[in-house]
């Protein structure tokens, strides 16, 4: 990455590391004082002030007014320039992929592109994904050198370090997309990326469980302020807790998982079945076979908002089932907060009553009273923001790689592109 604001020529690696760390901390804080920044960086106030002034001169950081008064002298606040660089954020689920380019203030600078991309048994899914990303970048007319990285949240058993997804898309995902775009790529499980978004920019606290209600039911886990991935990176398969003796086959191949009676697909399919059986609903004749699940999910969410009795009945049933699963989480983890996020958050606080009913019946009161249950205010956009976080969490690595490339260009005395 090499734009008019940031250059790595002749910059010592230690300085590159420190300044990129400042960029990361300021991004996550949004707005921060020099004193707060020096504490987060564990560096002296004078050194932090020195680098901040240099970064203001280089048009990387900008002053952003004064903090609210707390009785003393109000400190000057700093933030990143929003056009310092851009991030390609990709939010995938089993059926739909969304792609958008974001600035340093998490604003969308392009329209959200939706791609119908079923992942199950799709052997060209990675190719289709790569082509879609390339097109969004090209259509944006943003110079690729101004794009810091591509962050992708995706369902499945994801190994972020290796860039593999053992459920969908296969091996070397990050490497293959990077080869095609020339931009660093970072991947993560979709529920984990949503958890990061809720933690850094939402209402999650240091010990929180974030439920990703979508076509399945995922879980992102924050413990002591860190994303918990488990021994192999696969923690959070909330969908596959064995909950029912219903004989229903789950997508994982087991019988009676939470997902079999607690997902958006379950609610849509059940609504169709009950309408056929004669149940009255505003959705009758609208949940037709020519519509995909994305369209049907919007119809269902609108029906809930408009008070459709069948839609509300199904949300109540599923909410109770999820609440039963939440009771298990509370008994095991004692979280401070549990947040319902993802596509399900589009339907708002209607989830809370049936969830609370399940907790009243199944959870030890002394434990339950210390856990706050809420619906995400970030809603369906949380995974896109989480994908941006994947890039900014690795900004030091990105900058050091860019600096090494510039050094190599200088050594070989030419400006040709260096391929990875």
Most confident region among 134-138, 286-290, 393-397, 409-413 by mean pLDDT: 134-138
pLDDT at 403 over 70: no
pLDDT for 136 beyond 90: yes
Helix (H, G, I), strand (E, B) or coil at 399: helix
pLDDT at 2: 44
Per-residue model confidence (pLDDT) at position 282? 92
User: Scanning the structure block, which residue is given the tokens 């949240």?
Assistant: 153
CATH architecture of the domain 203-377 equals: 2-Layer Sandwich (3.30)
Mean pLDDT, range 6-29, rounded to an integer:
78
The pLDDT value given to residue 72: 66
- Rounded distance between C-alpha atoms, residue 264 and residue 285, angstroms: 19
60, 81 in Cβ contact below 8 A? Answer: yes
- Given a cut of 90, whether residue 175 has pLDDT beyond it is yes
Average pLDDT over residues 34-60: 90
> Does residue 419 surpass a pLDDT of 80?
no
**Angle CA 368–372–374, to nearest 5:** 130
Domain 86-193+382-412 CATH superfamily: ATPase, nucleotide binding domain (3.30.420.40)
Average per-residue pLDDT for the chain: 89
13-80 CATH choice from 1.10.10.10, 1.10.760.10, 3.40.50.12780, 3.20.20.220:
1.10.10.10
Tell me the average pLDDT across 174-198: 95
Give dist(CA 320, CA 330) in Å, integer.
15
Token pair recorded at residue 412: 């070989």
What is the tens place of the pLDDT at every residue in 313-352?
Answer: 999 999 999 999 999 999 999 999 999 999 999 899 999 9
Predicted local distance difference test score (pLDDT) of residue 405: 63
Measured torsion, CA atoms of residues 261, 315, 167, 290, in degrees rounded to the nearest 10: 100
Q: Which residues contact 370 (CB under 8 A, 6 or more apart)?
A: 334, 336
Structural domain boundaries in the chain: 13-80, 86-193+382-412, 203-377
Q: Say what the pLDDT of residue 130 is.
A: 96
Is the pLDDT at 271 greater than 70? The verdict is yes
Place 417 in a pLDDT band, splitting at 50, 70 and 90: very low
Identify the pLDDT of residue 70: 65
Tokens standing for residue 373: 């249950």
Distance spanning both ends of the chain, measured CA to CA: 13
- 412: number of Cβ within 10 Å: 10
Q: Which residue has the tokens 């488990």?
A: 230
- 11 CB-near residues (< 8 Å, 6+ apart): 403
Beta strands 208-213 and 185-189 are: unpaired
When pLDDT is averaged across residues 4-19 and rounded to a whole number, the result is 64
Would you state the structure tokens that stand for residue 407, as one six-digit string? 């050094």
With 60 as the cut, is the pLDDT of residue 407 above it?
Answer: no
Distances (CA, A) of 27 to 11, 168, 184, 380: 22, 31, 18, 21
**The residue to which tokens 């995938």 are assigned:** 92
Say yes or no to pLDDT of 73 above 80.
no
Q: How far apart are CA 131 and CA 133, in angstroms?
A: 5
Rounded to two decimals, the pTM is 0.89
3-state secondary structure at position 260: helix
Given this chain, do its domains 13-80 and 203-377 carry the same CATH topology? no
131: pLDDT strictly greater than 80? yes
């Amino acid at each position: 990455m090499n734009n008019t604001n940031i250059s790595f020529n002749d910059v010592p690696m230690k300085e590159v590391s420190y300044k990129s760390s400042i960029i990361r901390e300021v991004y996550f804080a949004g707005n921060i004082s020099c004193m707060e920044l020096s504490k987060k960086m564990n560096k002296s106030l004078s050194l932090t002030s020195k680098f901040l002034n240099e970064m203001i001169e280089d048009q990387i950081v900008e002053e952003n007014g004064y903090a609210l008064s707390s009785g003393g002298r109000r400190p000057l606040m700093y933030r990143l320039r929003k056009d310092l660089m851009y991030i390609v954020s990709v939010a995938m689920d089993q059926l739909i992929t969304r792609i958008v380019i974001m600035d340093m203030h998490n604003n969308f600078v392009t329209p959200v592109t939706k791609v119908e991309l079923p992942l199950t048994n799709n052997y060209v899914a990675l190719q289709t994904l790569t082509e879609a990303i390339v097109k969004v970048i090209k259509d944006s007319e943003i110079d690729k050198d101004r794009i810091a990285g591509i962050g992708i949240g995706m369902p499945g058993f994801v190994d972020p370090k290796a860039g593999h997804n053992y459920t969908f898309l296969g091996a070397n995902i990050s490497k293959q997309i990077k080869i095609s775009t020339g931009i660093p790529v970072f991947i993560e499980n979709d529920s984990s990326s949503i958890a990061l978004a809720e933690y850094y920019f939402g209402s999650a606290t240091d010990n929180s469980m974030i439920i990703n209600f979508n076509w399945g039911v995922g879980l992102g886990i924050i413990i002591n302020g860190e994303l918990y991935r488990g021994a192999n990176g696969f923690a959070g398969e909330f969908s596959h807790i064995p909950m029912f003796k219903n004989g229903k086959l789950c997508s994982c191949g087991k019988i009676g998982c939470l997902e079999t009676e607690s997902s958006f697909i379950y609610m849509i399919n059940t609504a169709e079945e009950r309408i056929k059986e004669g149940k009255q609903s505003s959705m009758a004749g609208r949940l037709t076979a020519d519509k995909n699940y994305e369209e049907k999910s919007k119809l269902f969410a609108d029906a809930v908002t408009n008070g459709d009795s069948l839609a509300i009945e199904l949300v109540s049933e599923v909410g109770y089932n999820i609440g039963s699963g939440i009771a298990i989480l509370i008994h095991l983890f004692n979280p401070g907060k549990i947040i319902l996020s993802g596509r399900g958050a589009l339907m708002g606080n209607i989830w809370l009553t049936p969830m609370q009913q399940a907790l009243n019946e199944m959870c030890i009161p002394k434990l339950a009273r210390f856990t706050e249950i809420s619906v995400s205010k970030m809603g369906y956009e949380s995974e896109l923001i989480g994908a941006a976080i994947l890039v900014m969490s690795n900004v030091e690595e990105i900058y050091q790689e860019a600096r090494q490339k510039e050094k190599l260009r200088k050594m070989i005395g030419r400006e040709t592109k260096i391929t990875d």
